[in-house]
Structure 1
Amino acid sequence: MQPPTPSAPPIVPVAASLAALASYSSNAVLVTDTEGLIQWVNQGFVDALGLAGAEIVGSALQDLLQTPNKPLTREAIDDGFRQATGFVGEVMVANHCADPLWFHINCSPLDPVESGYAGFVAILNDITRLMQSRQQLRISASVFERSHDAIMITDQDNRIIDVNPAFSRITGYSRDEAIGQSPNLLSSAVHTPAFYQNMWDSIQQNQFWRGEITNRRKNGELFTELLSINKVQLDGPAQWHHVAVFSDITELKNHAEQLNRVSNYDELTGLPNLQLLIKRLQRNITQADSHGQKLTLIHIDLDQFRLINSRFGHSAGDQVLTEVGRRLKTAVRENDTVARLTGDEFLLLLPECHHDNIGQRLLTLLHEAIAVGPASVRLSASMGIAHYPADASEPHQLLRHAGQAMHLAKDRGGNACHSFDPSLQRYREKRRELLRELHCALSNHEFVLHYQPQLNMTSGQIIGAEALIRWQHPQRGLLSPAEFLPVVTGSDLEIPLGRWVVREACRQCSEWYQAGQDLKVSINISAHHLMTPDFPEFLANELAIHPGLPSRNITLEVLESTALDDTRQAGNVIEACRAMGFEVALDDFGTGYSSLAYFRSLPIDLIKIDQSFVRNLLDNSNDRAIVESVVFLAKRFDRPVLAEGVETNAHARLLRDIGCELIQGYGLARPMAAAPFNLWLADWSEAPLQRQRAMLQG
């Protein structure tokens, strides 16, 4: 028996051979009495746990051992001692640093006859690393089973040897269906052979590949996965596995594509939006600079498109915009860009465009009829063209110049195409400055109304007057409407100025009525003003300000083109005004797209023949035929008719002979301010029949 050491106290009377053998063993060995109290430990035990033998001897082995794993429990150990059968199992012991160590323990009873001692000998084999490996394997197995990412393992022959549940969930193939198969069972045939060759080259060179790939599920559905493949080397030099881990990113890709579409494409038409067009414009400019090429940018704005929405509804308007986008796409090349800017505006980016008449071609294309339910519409547009590098040096400047050219086309009546000219910028600046002055003029009460008399040639009576706006400019004097109204049309000043005209005309009409002059005052109403939702309410409020004024004394003059652009909506507004007692005249009749159906359906009280037909009445047989037709139609539908632009007595006599009784024009009197009008009216009223005869006799 070895001599005792401080850490391994001697025991008596353990057999010398047993103690000697235990002292030489690297395993931890201890001896207990029949109750399980430790009597002796070897050096291997001391080395393993870092505990001095003196600290251990006398303590119960049951207290030293922790048995978290079944079937070796505290009860099993107690039974082993009590029944003298011993026990075997895995236990955990804390070392001197309180770190857990795992041991396989085999505790056997000693035969007193053979060993000379009654008790137990326990041999503890350190299996800590084994238990840690088991733990890692359990964690790996749990990860393999519970991972949300699919895992596929293949052998050297690229045959599947295992897959996890996520693989089955994503692909639709069960584990049994996948094992033994090639990963090609997922192939979508989307990628080229070169794609797969590059993937395998990377795996061979780097032991790794990662990227996106499109595969096919068992049900045939394509899906996009984010895939990583690792080449895992085994013990042998020529042994390896491939471990493929992938996640289904189809929804993520779809969401990204949706975000891309929302960010870069118009939802209604599917066309690129301004943001994407600018990106392409920047790229094309770079390419143009590199190759000495040119770019063309066309800005398109549909004329009077809001009337389609008003007449047919926004759904029909969307249908028309979609068709416009489709037509523009068919009119350009594959590498050209058609973008929707906003509302009814489109942009065309044309690299290397050599068609000088491209604008006219597009106008013709857009003018072709578009079906809207049972009806159809024909569009006109205002277009502006700018070229790079001739007209601009950077993208935003090119966009501005194309827009300026488009606005010039619109200012000049629309249905036209204009190329950018440096003078356009000066024109636009002058227009903005004039609009600013007009705002100030309205605030400073610089506008005045002049009144042009209207005559009944049968009775000789002045039946009313048309209110015509003038601008009393502080420096330039009295300005006619032609010098400022085109700038007002379509601007933010159109409604406020229109309302001022109505207020002032109603005030003057009320003043005349209170003075005993029962005159009708005609007021020109713009299309935009007429179609404002609160227009009838605005008229009712103005009438309430002048309670003594009969509403029949106010005539609202609506341009024929306004009424006929949206007959239904215009008819509803006109009917609401007539219900309050206002009379409605259809102005400039003959300049629009007149038809018997419109003539019959519009709720109007008076037809005004446009002065362009009246002016040439004496010399142009076609104009005379038009005037005669309008007068005939008016009589057939029991509507009075008034001729504008009567400049001479000869015009008046011919109109009387045709059957038109009501006239207005320079041949009768020029427009006058209210005070001179009062004097002129008083003079006329002294002998109306004589003045009427003098006029008609020439």
Structure 2
Amino acid sequence: MVGRPLGIYAAEFLSEEEQLILKEIKDNLRESGFYKLDFSMANRYGETIDCQITYRKICIDQTVFHVGMLRDMSAVVKDKKQVAHLLNYDQLTGLPNRKVFLSQASDVLLDTYQEVVIVRLNIDRYRNLASLLGSEGINTLIQKFVKRIKELHLEHLRCFSHFGGDDFALLFECQDGNMVRHQLDTLMQMCEIPFTMNGNAATNSNIYCHISVGVSYFPKNDAQVTGLLSKAEKALQYVKQHGGDDIRWYDKTIEEATSGSLQLEADLRAASAEGQFIPYYQPKFLLDTGIITGFEALVRWQHPTRGLLKPKHFIDAILTHKLSFELFSQMANKIAKQLSEWQQQGFCQHICINADAAEFSHPEFLTW
């Protein structure tokens, strides 16, 4: 096409669409000297290929020429599609990732006249399962888990997404959010059926994947996707903190519980720093003689405003916030000091102190 005028394309041989394209080419060359168009066409084998045509105006010895080039862009387009897929879909499961989920959820909220339900779910004991099965085994389990959910063909499901690891999200749109309750019950029942992990080096037994589920819905809980996702996450964490294997729909009591938990954590850290945990000594007797044979040290929290608190008011939070070793260290130091004082007074007894596996496995266990 080098050196040949664009007028060779006789209008009577062009369709109306082709005439418009020719006009666009001429206008662009006249205004900017360049034109580019991406399009698809059939090759001689009848296969559809992606193409790109470019026209450029050049001047040689004050003479204007138009250079046209037609390129097969199939490989480039294929690479772009692969990159887009990598950016938007999880490679292990093929499910949309968080980015796509947020985009689809936003689109649904903009157009919907119905209720929208966002579900977050995690697999219970995921770290233990990953440790047991190894990386290849846990990946296989995740793939089987996803396949089984897809086979449920859940009604009103608009998007099923994998955020990574054991973290999944589902988007439902229906006339009444309560209609999703049946779908979630179906999910929980699915988890009662074990997954067979034949050929895994770690185990040939059946594996159960129980799940924790948190739910929020539009318009009651929030009007924005990020808010709905956050509230579903809070409901999910509430379930996990209470043992998992359950479903929780978001409500204000979760916020209150979360706020209370944060305040309790702050109080516990302050108590640890200020030495508010103290030992109470419960004597042990020989039943036949009544002679004291030793003591068991029981922890109490001397709270500055609530008074003396028993472990039932704080021990679960101690474990949740990983403060057990700090508590153990403080108690051990105070008990050792008490033993030393008793020995100086000629009162020699032993004292038992409670500890769990976390304390024994701590790298600083023997340094206190």
* TM-score, length-scaled by structure 1: 0.41
Structure 1 position 255 matched with structure 2 position 79: yes
Distance in 2, Cα, partners of 1:436 & 1:294: 38
In structure 2, relative to structure 1, the CA distance for the partners of 1:368 and 1:228 (3 Å cut) is farther
Question: Residue 188 of structure 2 corresponds to which residue in structure 1?
Answer: 363
1:456 offset after TM fit, Å?
8.2
Question: Which residue of the other structure, out of 40, 49, 57, is the alignment partner of 1:213?
Answer: 40
The one-character-per-residue Cα deviations of 1:98-137 (angstroms, maximum 9, x if unpaired) are xxxxxxxxxxxxxxxxxxxxxxxxxxxxxxxxxxxxxxx9
Q: Higher mean Cα deviation, 204-213 or 424-433?
A: 204-213
Q: Percent identity at matched positions?
A: 21
Aligned partner of 1:517 in structure 2 is: 349
Q: Which of 159, 165, 180 is the equivalent residue of 1:337?
A: 159
SS in 2 for 1:268: coil
The one-letter code matched in structure 2 to 1:348 is: L
Match of residue 283, structure 1, among 72, 90, 107: 107
Distance 1:442 1:214 in 2: 73
Distance (whole Å) between structure 2 residues aligned to residue 455 and residue 271 of structure 1: 64
**Aligned ranges 1:63-78 → 2 under 5 Å:** none
Question: Per the alignment, in what secondary structure is the counterpart of residue 94 of structure 2?
Answer: coil
Name which of 334, 341, 346 aligns with 2:168: 346
**Hey, what does 1:306 align to over in structure 2?**
127
Structure 1: gaps (5+ residues) = 1-136, 142-152, 159-198, 230-242, 546-698
Match of 2:256 in 1: 426
> Which residue number corresponds to residue 51 of structure 2?
225
Determine the structure 2 residue equivalent to 1:482.
Answer: 312
- Change over 3 Å in CA distance of 1:432–1:217 after alignment to 2: farther
Shift of 1:260: 2.1
Over residues 176-230 of structure 1, what are the superposed CA-to-partner deviations in whole Å (9 max), with x where a residue is unaligned? xxxxxxxxxxxxxxxxxxxxxxx95411454379433265687x9975333579x
- Out of 493, 501, 505, which is 2:327 matched to? 501
Contact 2:277 2:331 in 1 (8 A): no
Q: Look up the match of 1:538.
A: 364
Amino acid at match of 2:224: E
Kindly tell me: are residues 325 and 227 of structure 1, through their superposed partners in 2, closer, same or farther at Cα, counting changes over 3 Å? Answer: farther
Structure-2 separation of matches of 1:302 and 1:271: 17
Greater relative contact order structure (CA < 8 Å, 6+ sep): 2
2: distance between equivalents of 1:419 and 1:327?
Answer: 23
Contact 2:53 / 2:70 at 8 angstroms: preserved in 1?
Answer: yes
Asked if the contact 1:208–1:228 (Cα under 8 Å) also holds between the matched residues in 2, the reply is: no
For the aligned residue pairs, the C-alpha RMSD in angstroms reads: 3.9
Distance, in Å, in 2 between the alignment partners of 1:221 and 1:484 is: 70
Q: Secondary structure of the residue that 1:499 maps to in structure 2?
A: helix
> When the two structures are aligned, how many residues end up with a matched partner?
327
Instruction: Give matches, 1:139-538, under 5 Å.
Output: 140=2, 201-207=16-22, 210-213=37-40, 224-227=50-53, 245-288=69-112, 292-331=113-152, 332-333=154-155, 336-352=158-174, 354-372=179-197, 373=200, 374-450=204-280, 467-490=297-320, 493-494=321-322, 497-507=323-333, 510=336, 515=343, 516-526=348-358, 535=361, 537-538=363-364
Aligned-residue offset at 1:468: 4.4
Contact 1:512 1:518 in 2 (8 A): no
For 1:408 and 1:321, the matched residues in 2 are separated by 23
Residue 380 of structure 1, CA deviation: 2.1
Write the mapping of 1:37-48 to structure 2, written as runs, cut at 5 A: none
CA 1:402–1:221: 2 relative to 1, 3 Å: same
Change (3 A) 1:421 1:208: same
The residue type paired with residue 500 of structure 1 is E
Distance 1:324 1:316 in 2: 12
- Give the drift of 1:295: 0.9
- 1:214-252 Cα offsets, whole Å, 9 max, x none, are 65687x9975333579xxxxxxxxxxxxx9843233343
Residues 298 and 334 of structure 1: CA distance in aligned 2, closer, same or farther (over 3 Å)? closer
> Structure 1 residue 414: deviation in Å?
1.4
Q: 1:254 aligns to what SS in structure 2?
A: helix
Give the secondary-structure state (helix, strand or coil) at the position aligned to 2:243.
coil
Change in CA separation of 1:481 and 1:512 when aligned onto 2, cut-off 3 Å:
closer
8 Å CA contact retained: 1:384, 1:402 = yes
Q: Contact 1:467 / 1:521 at 8 angstroms: preserved in 2? A: yes
Secondary structure of the structure 1 residue equivalent to 2:244: coil
Contact persistence 2:92–2:143 (CA under 8 A):
yes
Length-normalised TM-score, structure 2: 0.73
Gaps of 5+ in 2: 25-36, 56-66
Q: Flag the structure with larger Rg.
A: 1
Whether the 8 Å CA contact 2:239–2:246 is kept in 1: the answer is yes
CA contact 2:280–2:299 (8 Å) conserved in 1? yes
Name the CA distance, whole Å, in 2 between partners of 1:523 and 1:472: 20
Q: 1:335 to 1:475 in 2, by over 3 A?
A: closer
Amino acid at match of 1:327: R
CA contact (8 A) 1:464 1:522 kept: no
1:436 shift after superposition:
1.9
**Which amino acid is the alignment partner of residue 40 of structure 2?**
I
Deviation of residue 279 (structure 1)? 0.6
